Amino acid sequence: MGSDSSTQALVSLRNASALLQAGQPAQAAAALRIALDNAPHDADVASEIGRVLAVARTWLTIGQAQQAVALLAPIAGSEHANGMALMLYGHALMMLGRKDDAETVFRCWTQKEPQNSDAALRLAAVLADGNQPSEAETIVRAEIARRGETPEGAFVLGRALLGQSRFDEAETAFRKVVHARPDHQNAQSNLMELVWMRSGDVREAARALDRALRAQPQLAGLRITKARLLLSARLPQEALAVIDAGLALSGQDAALLRVASTIALEFDGSRALGYAQRLLQVAPDDRGARVEIGNASLATGDARTALQMAEALHQSDPTDGRALAMKADALRMLGDQRYRDLLDYRSLVRAEQIDVPDGWSDLDAYLSELVEDLGRVHTLRAHPIGNSLREGSQIQLDPPQSSFASIRAFPQAIDGPIRRYMQALGGGPDPMRRRNTGKYRISGSWTVRLRPHGFHVNHYHPEGWISSACYLQLPPAVARRGGEGWLKFGEPAFPTRPALEPEYFLKPEPGLLALFPSYMWHGTVPFSGAPADTRMTIAFDVVPTDS
C-alpha cells in the first residue's frame, strides 16, 4: 500500500474521530468509508480503528444505536471486521430491531471465529428472539456440551425453550441463572414474566426478584423490573414506592427517574413532572426525558410546553410516534384544529373483511379453523409484563413457522386489505402519507384472548407505521350492549387537564380487520359475560419498505 494513500486514510480516520466528538455521526461514517477505501489492509489504519470502535461502544452505552450502526457499517464490510467490530455492529442492529441483519452479522462472526463461545451464544440469542428457537437450542446445547453450562448459556437456552412454549424447561433454565447470578437482570425479568403469565400471582412472580433486592438493594435494574410487574398487576402506587426506594439510594439515576415519571403519570401529573424535570437535568440530551416532560405537561394542563417538546422531537425524527401522539394531544387541548390532520379518523382508520386464503371455501370456514388453532396456542393465564391488555393472554406469532395451516395462511388473508389501505391512503405531506411507498413488511404479530372484564389500556405503537386489530371471535356483549368490547380512539393512557375523551369508536365483527396509524391512542372498552365468553384477535404492525 502506498504511503500517500495510507497517510490520506489516517487523516480521514482522525477526521472521523473528530466528527464523532462533534456529534456528527453521519459525516464521521463517510470519513471512515474514505479511510477504508484508501487503505483497506494498512496496519496503521487497523490500529486507529480501535479508537473508532471505542466511540461506537460509547454510542451504544448511551442508547444511540442508529449513530453506532452508521459508524460500524463501513468497518463491518471491510477487511478490518474483527470479532469486536462484528459484535458491536450486531448488537447495534438488535437494538434497532433489525434482527435479520443482526443474524447475518453474527453468522459471519461465527464463521470467522468458530471457536468463539461469545459469537455462538450471540447468534443463538438472535435466533431465539427472531423466531428460530429450535436452531438456537441446537447451537446452545452444542456449546454447553463443549464448554459446560454457564449462566450466559443457560439464559439463552431458556429463551430458546420459551420460544418453543416449553415453559417448564424454560423456567428451570432461568432459575439456574438467577441462582448463580441474582443480579442477571434479563434472567430475572424473563423468570418473573413467565411465572406471572403462568400463574397470575404477583408474589410468586416477584419471589426471586425480592430475594435479590434484599441482598443488593442498589440494583436499579431489578427495581425497574419489579415495578413493571406491579404496574401490570394494576398496582401503580406500590410500583412507584419500589422506584422511590431506589431513588433514596441513588437520586440521580436516570433510568429510575424515567420510570418514576411514567408511573406517576397514571395518577399524579404534578409528581410526574417533578421526576421528569429532575431527569432532564441529569440527562439533558435524552429524547426520553423530553417525552416525559411533554406528557407530564399534558397531565398538568401546560399544552404549550408539550407542543414545543413534540415539535422538537418530531423535527429531529419525523417517524417518532411518541412525538406525533403528543403533538396531536397538545393541539387538541389548545383547541387548534390542526390536530385533525393527525387524527382524521374517517380517512386514516379503515376496516374491512380479510380475504379468504387459498385452501378454504369461505371466510366462516377459515375463521372457525383459525380460532380453533389459536385456542391451542393460548396456554398462558396472565398478560405479558408491560403489555396493554388486562385480564387475558397474549402470544407472539410467527405465521410462516407455525405448525398450523390456518396461522401460516394469515399473511395471505391480510395482504389485500393492507394494500388497499395503502392505495386509499395515497401520498402527501402528512406523517402517514409521506412514508407510503406502496410496499410493506409485517413488524411483529401476536394474538390476544381476553376474558370477561378484559380490555386493552389506551396505548400507541411508537415504532410502527400502520397498526391493526383483526377480530376472530367475539363475546355476545359486543352486539348486545353498545360499546362493550369496541375499539376506541383518541383517549390518552394518562389523565390530562382538561380531560381528552375518546373521539371515535369501531364495532368489531368476526373477520373484520381494522387498520390505523400507529401513533393514534387506541384501547378497548371492557366487556361483560359468562366465564366462557372470549374476545380473540390477531394484531400486527406494518412498516413501509422500499422493495
Task: Give start and end residues of each alpha helix (H) in 218-268.
Answer: 220-232, 236-249, 254-264
CA–CA separation, 295 vs 310, rounded Å?
9
φ and ψ at residue 64, rounded to 5 degrees: -95, 70
Tell me the per-residue pLDDT of 515-530, one tens digit each, with 9 for 90 and over. 999 999 999 999 999 8
Decide if 399 contacts 465 (C-beta within 8 A): no
Rounded to an integer, the average pLDDT of 44-57 is 68
Q: How far apart are CA 94 and CA 100, in angstroms?
A: 9
**CATH of region 251-342:** 1.25.40.10
Separation of alpha carbons 421 and 465, rounded Å: 12
> Quick one: pLDDT at residue 2?
46
Distance CA 133, CA 131 (A): 6
At residue 413, what are phi and psi to the nearest 5 degrees?
-65, -30
DSSP for residue 384: P
pLDDT in tens, 242-258: 999 999 999 999 999 99
Distance of CA 127 to the CA centre of its chain: 17
CA separation for the pair 209, 191 (Å, rounded): 9
Q: Is the pLDDT of residue 16 over 70?
A: no
Residue 65 and residue 96 in contact, taking contact as beta carbons nearer than 8 Å: yes
**Alpha carbons 285 and 316: distance in angstroms, whole number:** 12
Backbone φ and ψ for 338, nearest 5 degrees, come out as -65, -15
Per-residue b/e over 229-254, b at no fewer than 16 CB within 10 Å?
bbbbbeebebbbebbbebbeeeeebb
Rounded Cα distance between 547 and 545, Å, is 6
Q: Does domain 346-544 have CATH number 3.30.70.120?
A: no
Note whether 49 and 69 are within 8 A (CB): no
Query: 540 CB contacts (<8 Å, ≥6 apart)?
Result: 414, 442, 443, 444, 445, 446, 467, 468
Mean pLDDT, all residues of the chain: 89
Burial of 55 from C-beta contacts in 10 A (0-12 / 13-18 / 19+): middle
Q: What residue ranges do the domains of the chain occupy? A: 251-342, 346-544
Instruction: Burial-class residue 258 by CB neighbours within 10 Å (0-12, 13-18, 19+).
Output: buried
Q: What is the DSSP letter of 459?
A: B
For the segment 432-448, the average pLDDT, to the nearest whole number, is: 94
The per-residue pLDDT for range 141-191, each reduced to its tens digit, is 999 999 999 999 999 999 999 988 899 999 999 999 999 999 999 999 999
Residues 225/217/65/516 CA torsion (nearest 10 deg): 20
The predicted pLDDT at position 34 comes to 65
Q: Which three cell numbers stand for residue 293?
A: 416532560
The answer to whether the beta carbons of residues 420 and 353 sit under 8 Å apart is no
Identify the band that residue 407 occupies on the pLDDT scale cut at 50, 70 and 90. very high
Give whichever of 6-20, 38-52, 135-149 has the largest mean pLDDT: 135-149
**Mean pLDDT along residues 444-449:** 92
Res. 1: pLDDT tops 50:
no
pLDDT band at 456 (very low <50, low <70, confident <90, very high): confident
528 close to 481: Cβ distance less than 8 angstroms: yes
- 522 φ, ψ to 5°? -150, 150
Bridge partners for 542 per DSSP: 442, 466
Whether residue 516 contacts residue 291, with contact meaning beta carbons closer than 8 Å, is answered with no
How does residue 24 score in pLDDT terms, banded at 50, 70 and 90?
low
Distances (CA, A) of 536 to 28, 50, 378, 512, 515: 49, 52, 10, 12, 17
pLDDT of residue 479: 87
- What is the Cα–Cα distance from 266 to 270, expressed in whole angstroms? 11
Q: Model's pTM, two decimal places? A: 0.80
Strands 389-396 and 512-517: unpaired
pLDDT at 3: 54
Name residue, grid cell 458491536: 88
Q: For residue 184, how many C-alpha atoms fall within 13 Å in the half-sphere facing its CB? A: 24
Residue closest to 442 by CA, chosen among 415, 424, 462: 415
Q: Are residues 472 and 537 in contact, defined by beta-carbon separation less than 8 angstroms? A: yes
> Once rounded to an integer, what is the mean pLDDT over residues 88-93?
89
DSSP code per residue over 448-489: EEEEEEEEEPSB--TT-SEEEEEEEE--THHHHSTTTT-EEE
Rg of the chain over Cα atoms, rounded to whole angstroms, equals: 25
Q: Which helix H or strand E contains 534, and what residues bound it?
A: none
- Axis crossing angle, helix 65-76 with helix 43-61, rounded to the nearest 10: 160
In this structure, are residues 294 and 326 in contact, taking their beta carbons and an 8 Å threshold?
yes
User: Does 44 score more than 80 pLDDT?
Assistant: no
pLDDT at residue 32 is higher than 50 = yes
Per-residue model confidence (pLDDT) at position 322: 95
C-alpha cell at 292: 416525559
